[in-house]
Amino acid sequence: MQVEGKRVIVTAAADGIGRAIADGFLDGGAQVHVCDVNADALEKFANERPGLGVHLADVSDANAVDAMFDAAEADMGGLDILINNAGIAGPTGTLESMTGDDWRRTLDVNVVGMFHCLKRALPLMKAAGGGAVINLASSAGIMGYPLRTPYAASKWAVVGLTKSLAMEAGPDGVRVNAICPGPVTGERMERVIAAEAAAKNVPEDDIRASYTSLTSLRSFIDPEEIASSILFLCSDAGAKITGQVLSVDGNTESLR
């Protein structure tokens, strides 16, 4: 999975899945620039990985994305790969309990944020003769997810965006795929479990067990397993793969 010398941007990469993805590209010899909203985690990452480009940015803010891309382009001289990893869990509860602000914030980060990044990335990739985009969707982007309607709606949108953009950008040599993680180990999943337990008034351990019981492999996914799939798709080994939605989720059978 050769990625040496590739110029890569990974959004929301100070920790969690994004950090694992960025580490994978760095270990493969790529030039990597990351953004995040967590300044402390960004500083820690930069200190641990000399040569890494970092930028404090909320992808829902078009001006912040422009500033981040300007810095990355100046640093790397162009772009070959964009990993649209930024996303938020959104609220947990019944639809009628949610506010318009709950919905808008989830869609602004999870969908509009991808638009802002793609709008800047595509011209750079076309100028480079081609490139690869990976959009992070979710198992919730291919099945229903009760009590998480804004999140599910946003991830279904990501799947539609991916398939449509693959057709639009393919003639310019830009490949566009989506990864659908299932329940991934880490702090974010623990927050999701806590919120769902509170909404359903059940113990957190019951929610945690329900997630594993609903996957065929009866397990959570490690961030590094998501990163490995992404490196494959972005390498020469995945040169003819585009418009695909790849589930890396232990075969999630249901999200009920």
CA–CA distance, 20 with 100 (Å, rounded to integer): 33
Mark 106-133 as b/e (b = at least 16 C-beta within 10 Å): bbbbbbbbbbbbbebbbebbeebeebbb
Cβ count near 75 (within 10 Å): 15
- Given the structure tokens 């113990």, which residue do they identify? 203
Give the angle 180-182-183 at the CA atoms, nearest 5°: 145
Catalytic site residue from 151, 156, 211, 220: 151
CA–CA distance, 119 with 31 (Å, rounded to integer): 21
For residue 137, what are the contacts with CB-CB under 8 A and spacing of at least 6? Answer: 155, 158, 159, 162, 178, 179, 180, 245
* Tokens representing residue 68 in the block: 């981040």
Q: Is 145 part of the annotated catalytic residue set?
A: no
- Indicate which residues carry an active-site annotation: 151
